[in-house]
Structure 1
């Protein structure tokens, strides 16, 4: 599988990620699946075309499908920021991969936002990347400004 024709952005990300000042969810997903971490400041050190390129990598959960994201990121970070990404061990069984129950963080965010919790069936029907996005947006105890727009975009809220 090759690069996508255009950067992958959800509608709710366009305002915050259109100029790639902030990391799109597709880049966050690939960082997490490869066990890599960079700061926002490091992201912003990368030239705009490099940030766009990183957002064109596929968002498939199988790292064997597109193994070059990590190599591209390392080269870009060395060249433009004179640093390397930090390594961490990815969670072997993250909550977003479970289709039988809505993760606790999503439940909490729904409560904060005052919107109904999706049923387990609706949760299971979501594409894995969308489940990842909602879990990622729900990882902190305070409300996330992108949570409700994401829920609406994914058909889980009115």
Structure 2
């Protein structure tokens, strides 16, 4: 798969990513699928063009389709931050892949945002990357400022 021409940003991310100052969801997805971790401070050490390039990698769940994200990240981190990303074992069966159950954190975040959680049918109809995004935004117990905008963007924002 070829790189995308422009960074893969959702509308809700355009303001919150502040010109790639923060790690966009497409980069978080690729970090998670390759089992790599970098800090926000490390991300911000990369030049804008490197951050932009990393945000142009495809968001496909198959690491064999686009195996160069990890290599590019390692080279950029060594060159500009003099560090290497941390490795971790990726989750073999993350909750967002399961179309038969909406992760519990999503119901909690929906409640905090005064929204109805998505039903099973709506959850299953989201593309895998959208399910990843909602699950990622819903992983912590405190409210996430991007959760409700993401729900709106994905057509799921139904008030309680």
Band the TM-score falls in, shorter-chain normalisation: over 0.9
Q: Normalized against structure 2, the TM-score is what?
A: 0.97
Could you tell me which residue of structure 2 aligns to residue 119 of structure 1? 119
| 1:114 Cα deviation after fit | 1.1
Alpha-carbon distance between aligned partners in 1 of 2:76 and 2:104, rounded to the nearest angstrom: 36
2:76 is matched with 76
1:13 equivalent in alignment to 2:6: no
Q: State the partner residue of 2:49.
A: 49
Q: Tell me which residue corresponds to 2:110.
A: 110
CA deviation after TM superposition for structure 1 residue 112, in Å: 1.1
1:101 counterpart SS class: coil
Question: Runs of 4 or more off by more than 2 Å in structure 1?
Answer: none
Range with greater deviation from structure 2 (111-120 or 33-42): 111-120
- What residue in structure 2 maps to residue 86 of structure 1? 86
What is the TM-score of this pair, normalised by structure 1? 0.99
Structure 1 position 18, deviation (Å): 4.2
SS at 2:56 equivalent? coil
Q: CA RMSD in A?
A: 0.7
Structure 2 segments unaligned to the other structure (5+ residues): none
Distance 1:2 1:136 in 2: 25
Q: Is the partner of 1:156 in helix, strand or coil?
A: coil
Ranges in structure 1 where 5+ consecutive residues have no aligned partner: none
| Cα deviations by residue, 1:20-71 (Å, 9 ceiling, x for unpaired) | 1000000000000000000000000000000000000000100011000000
Deviation string 1:98-123 (CA, Å, 9 cap, x unpaired) is 00111011011011111011110000
Which residue of 2 is the match for residue 128 of structure 1?
Answer: 128
- Taking the aligned partners of 2:103 and 2:65, their CA distance within structure 1 comes to 27
Instruction: State how far apart, in whole Å, the 2-side matches of 1:36 and 1:43 are.
Output: 12
Instruction: Supply the distance in 2 between the matched residues of 1:18 and 1:131 (Cα, whole angstroms).
Output: 23
